[in-house]
């Protein structure tokens, strides 16, 4: 590696060209730091101070590319290396009047540093904003960050395998890189406490809480989950959640009352608790207040015990 690399302010390397204080693109700066070379941007609008490289680009473009056919990138690299060692490196250079390979061997090679044993990680940096759902978006994929950073602008570093999200220089989140569009990576600890608590209230949690409250509540929750039509997870969460407000004993008694009338609904449990119907022992049965038409005294009522056998 050379100790110093002169570049012509491309956007992939210099985000703001300036004579005294240029700004280096973060990914290119990490590459320079990893390989151990200094970046020397050319002065703006001063072609006399640029390196003599453009004529060499034309030489390769006109002398090598039109005469070759490439099956792949590795094949192109192999042919280019062979051409440089046999043709381009042994020609007489127009400025130095020397063979490039001879000059490299005698002068330049001893000044180069060895490549690092472990190549630096190649990554892309991007500015991202945290959306209201606590995720940032990069290449049509969403990655979660702590909910306290919602609406903040952060830095995202994406390599081939990992995505790291920083606030200034502090690491805030890390995810495996997703390469399919529409992907979503969420860490449960990044969500607000209320969302974390809600996500933990799965069917197993509801059944365990119901069993702690009482046998009738446990049967009630199992009846809710036995429905083949409706997903009653929220209803089960609501029933066991009522114990925090009304206590375990009242919820257990109300579940028993609801099961007695086969009214397995969250709204029934809530109404009984709100109206305090479970606290009136004299009204143990709704049938006590029904008219004779429903309790056996109707005009056309027939006593089953008096019916004659066929």
CA 270, CA 279: separation in Å to the nearest integer? 14
State the pLDDT at residue 56.
82
Same domain, 101 and 12: yes
Same domain, 274 and 217: yes
- The parent domain of residue 86 ranges over 4-111
Residue 290 above 90 pLDDT? no
Overall pTM > 0.75: no
Q: Residue holding tokens 């790291």?
A: 164
State the pLDDT at residue 45.
84
Residue 286 above 60 pLDDT? no
Average pLDDT over every residue of 117-125: 89
State the pLDDT at residue 96.
84
CA 115, CA 247: separation in Å to the nearest integer? 70
Same domain, 205 and 187: no
Three-state DSSP string of the chain: CCCEEEECCCCCCEEECCCCCCEECHHHHHHHHHHCCEEEECCCCCHHHCCCCHHHHHHHHHHCHHHCCCCCHHHHHHHHHHHHHHCHHHCCCCCCCCCHHHHHHHHHHHHCCCCCCCCCCCCEEEEEECCCCCEEEECCEEEECCHHHCCCEEEEEECCCEEEEEECCEEEEEEECCCCCCCEECCHHHCCHHHHHHHHCCHHHHHHHHHHHCHHHHHHHHHHHCCCCCCCHHHHHHHHHCHHHHCHHHHHHHHHHHHHCCCCCHHHHHHHHHHCHHHCCCCCCHHHHCCHHHHCCCCCCCCHHHCCCC
In a domain, 299, yes or no: no
Same domain, 106 and 138: no
In a domain, 30, yes or no: yes
State the pLDDT at residue 68.
87
Residue 16 above 60 pLDDT? yes
Same domain, 183 and 222: no
State the pLDDT at residue 288.
46
Same domain, 145 and 98: no
Average pLDDT over every residue of 254-263: 90
Q: Which of 111, 137, 158 is the last residue of a domain?
A: 111
In a domain, 216, yes or no: yes
pLDDT, tens digit (0-9, with 9 covering 90-100), for 56-103: 888 888 989 888 899 999 999 999 999 999 999 999 988 888 999 999
CA 235, CA 270: separation in Å to the nearest integer? 11
Average pLDDT over every residue of 5-14: 90
Same domain, 21 and 103: yes
Same domain, 34 and 97: yes
Rg over alpha carbons for the chain, rounded to the nearest Å, is 39
Residue 3 above 60 pLDDT? yes
Q: Which of 130-144, 230-244, 268-282 has the lowest mean pLDDT?
A: 268-282
Q: Which of 36-50, 111-125, 143-157 has the lowest mean pLDDT?
A: 36-50
Average pLDDT over every residue of 28-46: 91
Quick one: tokens of 55?
A: 């004529």
In a domain, 32, yes or no: yes
In a domain, 160, yes or no: yes
Residue 289 above 70 pLDDT? no
In a domain, 296, yes or no: no
Same domain, 32 and 106: yes
Same domain, 30 and 105: yes
Q: Which of 55, 80, 111 is the last residue of a domain?
A: 111
pLDDT, tens digit (0-9, with 9 covering 90-100), for 134-187: 999 999 999 999 999 999 999 999 999 999 999 988 999 999 999 999 999 999
In a domain, 12, yes or no: yes
Tell me the pLDDT band of 276, cut-offs 50, 70 and 90.
confident
Pairing of strands 124-129, 162-167: unpaired
State the pLDDT at residue 74.
94
In a domain, 302, yes or no: no
State the pLDDT at residue 49.
76
Same domain, 42 and 69: yes
Number of folded domains in the chain? 3
Q: In this prediction, what percent of the chain has a pLDDT beyond 90?
A: 61
Residue 310 above 60 pLDDT? no
Average pLDDT, the chain: 87
Q: Which of 79, 111, 143 is the last residue of a domain?
A: 111
Residue 285 above 50 pLDDT? no
Same domain, 186 and 229: no
């Amino acid at each position: 590696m050379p100790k110093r690399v002169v570049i012509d302010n491309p956007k992939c390397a210099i985000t703001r060209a300036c004579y005294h204080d240029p700004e280096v693109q973060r990914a290119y700066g990490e590459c320079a730091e990893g390989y151990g070379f200094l970046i020397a941007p050319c002065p703006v609008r001063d072609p006399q101070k640029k390196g003599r490289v453009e004529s060499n680009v034309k030489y390769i473009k006109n002398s090598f590319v039109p005469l070759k056919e490439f099956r792949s990138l590795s094949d192109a690299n192999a042919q280019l290396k062979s051409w440089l060692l046999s043709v381009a490196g042994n020609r007489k250079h127009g400025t130095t009047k020397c063979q490039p390979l001879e000059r490299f061997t005698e002068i330049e090679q001893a000044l180069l540093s060895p490549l690092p044993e472990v190549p630096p990680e190649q990554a892309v940096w991007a500015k991202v904003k945290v959306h209201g759902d606590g995720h940032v978006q990069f290449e049509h994929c969403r990655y979660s960050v702590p909910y306290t950073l919602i609406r903040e602008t952060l830095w995202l570093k994406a390599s081939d395998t990992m995505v790291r999200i920083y606030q200034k220089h502090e690491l805030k989140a890390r995810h495996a890189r997703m390469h399919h569009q529409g992907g979503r990576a969420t860490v449960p600890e990044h969500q607000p406490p209320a969302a974390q608590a809600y996500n933990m209230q799965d069917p197993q949690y509801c059944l365990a809480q119901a069993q702690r409250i009482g046998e009738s509540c446990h049967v009630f929750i199992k009846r809710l989950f036995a429905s083949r039509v409706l997903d009653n997870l929220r209803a089960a969460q609501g029933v066991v959640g009522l114990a925090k407000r009304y206590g375990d004993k009242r919820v257990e008694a109300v579940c028993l009352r609801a099961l007695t009338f086969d009214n397995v609904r969250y709204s029934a449990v809530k109404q009984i608790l709100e109206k305090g119907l479970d606290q009136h022992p004299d009204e143990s049965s709704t049938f006590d207040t029904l008219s004779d038409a429903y309790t056996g005294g109707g005009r056309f009522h027939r006593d089953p015990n008096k019916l004659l056998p066929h």
